[in-house]
Chain A
Amino acid sequence: MRDKILAILEKNARIDPKDLASLIGEQEEEVRKEIERLEDEGIICGYHTMVNWSKTDLEKADAFIEVKVTPQRGVGFDQIAERIWQYPEVTSIYLISGNFDFAVFIQGKSMREVAMFVSEKLSTIDGVLSTSTQFILKKYKEQGTVIEAPKKDERILVS
């Protein structure tokens, strides 16, 4: 039941537990309890709405920043990562393999704001050696979802 619930919720976090129960052939009460357990265990970490900000009047600027750091004795990368994720501008941070150590995603109100954040906050953190900023110009697909107008059903109505 667990795997099925997760598979469905991952794609549709807003589904009514009653419908979810129906889809997988379980009792609604059982499903509610299982979701609660998944939340308690931290397997479900949160629910998130994907917003295509470019279709709104609000200005947003997204950037992907590669960060090179010096790992610290005893705590490795984790302490620097924590320093970085504390900033509300940071939407995601990953430890990565390759030429850089962290991939950091930042969202700000404007490109200028993001650039200022990188030069004034991120680069000045102890242990950060260098950064490389890439502004995101257009989002095509995020979290498995293609970001464009919803696809029209072109099938003939009755067949």
Chain B
Amino acid sequence: MRDPLNSFIEAIPPSGIRKFFDIVSEMKDAISLGVGEPDFDTPWHVREEGIYSLEKGKTFYTSNAGLKELRTEIGAFMKRHYDLSYDPEGEIIVTVGGSEAIDICFRAMLEKGDEVIIPEPCFVSYKPCAILAGATPVTIPLQEKNHFRLTPEELLSHITDRTKLLFISYPNNPTGAVMEREDLEKIAEIVIEKDLYVLSDEIYSELSYTGKPHVSIASLPGMRDRTIVVNGFSKAFAMTGWRLGYACGPKRVMEQMLKIHQFAIMCAPTTSQYAAVEAMRNGDEDIAEMRESYDQRRRYLLDTFAEMGVPCFPAQGAFYLFPCIKQFGMSSEEFATKLLEEQKVAVVPGSAFGDSGEGFLRISYAYSLRDLKKAMEKIRLFVDGLREKEGK
């Protein structure tokens, strides 16, 4: 038989998260701090709208770009939360999660020879999606000493004549890092000077604990027409399973993204879109409540790691901490595997998110305080055990 596969695809390594997932699934009664989704249920009033839409038989395709009603609400939400203005006609596409938006954005903008700058550690899908689009990903290893923010120097030193797109994602998965207005301004300056575009994955934008609202790089002067903003419902509204996201950007790019979306997807799930209208209209309070809860757990975990003597930079976003385990002289993967074997606690090795994540762990706090306490006690036992062994 002939080789059925595209050798290009075969060459892409599988997700590092996936690899660890396979190990964890083998383990019975493991406690996991490995999830990347909220522990809350979708707010009931949102679910109810989804149910009503089904009852009323709203089970047909929507327009390719998504329900007009939803795009209008997304426009209003972007204005209200981030002071961004997008025309629901032509500048907003409703997608199947933020993931699809990233994929079609890469494919619409990049071609062979183009370089896309991707700061790491980052979520596992960006690099493969850039490769699938035919482009060359250029990664920047971010530094803990900069709190995993992208610095102007780091950016400048990775720009070449072929650089077309800068990819950023703040608040960040896996580090929990945020970038504030002043940080973004310096990046925007370079982007404009070097005539680049930005794809900004802001899926965690509502989960920022700086006390100030999230700043989108698109809202900085001169950046709106150079930026495609990707966001979605999964994290802010606890709607991961509904598979709903959106992209906003200049019409010229969105038109081509819509073309791919139309051919590959047709439209995002209709039921999810109806539920999402309700989320956008009446969900601000739900977001605030969940944000407060995450923030509390974040503080609790930071204190607990500090007590353990495991350094952890004070992450201010998403629902992850990224503690440094270099003192134990093990790789992230070794540490995570041993922790799983000895104490049955699953965390994701930082190296799954890029080489610069080596020496770190991703700890999710999308869990109840009760679960977090249990898991942290086990991590403490594990760490104490390691230190004892070293002492001997």
Query: Which residues of A approach B to under 8 Å, CB–CB?
Result: 8, 12, 15, 19, 22-25, 153, 155-159
Closest Cβ of chain A: how far from B344's Cβ, in Å?
Answer: 11
Q: Which of B34, B39, B371, B373 contacts A157 (CB 8 A)?
A: B34
Interface membership of B63, Cβ < 8 A: no
Interface-lining segment among B4-12, B72-80, B179-187, B297-305: B297-305
Q: Contact check, B369 vs A23: say whether CB atoms are below 8 A apart.
A: yes
Q: Which of B325-374 contact A (CB under 8 A)?
A: 346, 348, 369, 371, 373
Q: Contact check, B35 vs A158: say whether CB atoms are below 8 A apart.
A: yes
Q: Contact check, B20 vs A158: say whether CB atoms are below 8 A apart.
A: yes
Q: Contact check, A25 vs B299: say whether CB atoms are below 8 A apart.
A: yes
Q: Which of B1-56 contact A (CB under 8 A)?
A: 17, 20-21, 24-25, 30, 32, 34-37, 39
Q: Contact check, B300 vs A158: say whether CB atoms are below 8 A apart.
A: no
Q: Contact check, B300 vs A157: say whether CB atoms are below 8 A apart.
A: no
> 6 pairs across A/B with beta carbons < 8 Å?
A8-B296, A15-B369, A25-B299, A155-B37, A157-B34, A159-B34
Q: Contact check, B17 vs A159: say whether CB atoms are below 8 A apart.
A: yes
Q: Majority SS of interface residues in chain B?
A: helix
Q: Which of A19, A24, A153, A159 contacts B39 (CB 8 A)?
A: A153
Q: Contact check, A158 vs B299: say whether CB atoms are below 8 A apart.
A: no
Q: Which of B35, B39, B348 contacts A156 (CB 8 A)?
A: B35
**Complex interface: chain B residues within 8 A of A22 (CB):** 299-300, 303-304
Q: Majority SS of interface residues in chain A?
A: loop
- Categorize the interface residue count of chain B: 20 to 34
Q: Contact check, B300 vs A19: say whether CB atoms are below 8 A apart.
A: yes
Q: Which of B277-326 contact A (CB under 8 A)?
A: 296-297, 299-300, 303-304
Q: Contact check, B25 vs A19: say whether CB atoms are below 8 A apart.
A: no
Closest Cβ of chain B: how far from A27's Cβ, in Å?
Answer: 11
Complex CA distance for A105 and B24, rounded to whole angstroms? 49
Q: Contact check, B32 vs A23: say whether CB atoms are below 8 A apart.
A: no
Q: Which of B17, B21, B36, B299 contacts A23 (CB 8 A)?
A: B299
Q: Contact check, B300 vs A23: say whether CB atoms are below 8 A apart.
A: yes
**Complex interface: chain B residues within 8 A of A25 (CB):** 299
Closest A residue to B19 by beta carbon equals: A158
Closest A residue to B17 by beta carbon equals: A158
Complex CA distance for A19 and B20, rounded to whole angstroms? 31
Q: Assuming the A-B contacts A19-B300, A24-B296, are A158 and B21 also in contact, with contact meaning beta carbons closer than 8 angstroms in the complex?
A: yes
Complex CA distance for A23 and B373, rounded to whole angstroms? 12
Complex CA distance for A43 and B39, rounded to whole angstroms? 31
Closest Cβ of chain A: how far from B295's Cβ, in Å?
Answer: 9
Closest Cβ of chain A: how far from B243's Cβ, in Å?
Answer: 13
**Complex interface: chain B residues within 8 A of A156 (CB):** 21, 35
Q: Which of A15, A23, A153, A159 contacts B297 (CB 8 A)?
A: A23
Closest A residue to B32 by beta carbon equals: A157
Complex CA distance for A157 and B33, rounded to whole angstroms? 8
Closest Cβ of chain B: how far from A16's Cβ, in Å?
Answer: 9
Closest Cβ of chain B: how far from A159's Cβ, in Å?
Answer: 4
Q: Contact check, B35 vs A159: say whether CB atoms are below 8 A apart.
A: yes
**Complex interface: chain A residues within 8 A of B36 (CB):** 159
Closest Cβ of chain A: how far from B173's Cβ, in Å?
Answer: 10
Best-buried of B297, B299, B304 by chain A (most CB within 10 Å):
B299
Complex CA distance for A157 and B18, rounded to whole angstroms? 10
Q: Assuming the A-B contacts A19-B369, A23-B296, are A157 and B17 also in contact, with contact meaning beta carbons closer than 8 angstroms in the complex?
A: no
Complex CA distance for A158 and B337, rounded to whole angstroms? 13
Q: Contact check, B30 vs A157: say whether CB atoms are below 8 A apart.
A: yes
Complex CA distance for A12 and B373, rounded to whole angstroms? 14
Complex CA distance for A12 and B304, rounded to whole angstroms? 20
Complex CA distance for A12 and B369, rounded to whole angstroms? 10
Q: Contact check, A159 vs B21: say whether CB atoms are below 8 A apart.
A: yes
Complex CA distance for A20 and B90, rounded to whole angstroms? 48
Complex CA distance for A157 and B34, rounded to whole angstroms? 6
Best-buried of A8, A23, A25 by chain B (most CB within 10 Å):
A23
Complex CA distance for A8 and B289, rounded to whole angstroms? 12
Complex CA distance for A156 and B240, rounded to whole angstroms? 12
Closest 6 CB pairs of A and B: A158-B34, A23-B296, A158-B21, A157-B32, A159-B36, A22-B303
Complex CA distance for A120 and B17, rounded to whole angstroms? 68
**Complex interface: chain A residues within 8 A of B30 (CB):** 157
Closest A residue to B306 by beta carbon equals: A22
Q: Apart from A8-B296, A25-B299, what are 19 other A-B pairs with CB-CB below 8 Å?
A: A12-B369, A19-B300, A22-B303, A23-B299, A153-B39, A153-B371, A155-B37, A156-B21, A156-B35, A157-B21, A157-B25, A157-B32, A158-B32, A158-B34, A158-B348, A159-B17, A159-B34, A159-B35, A159-B37
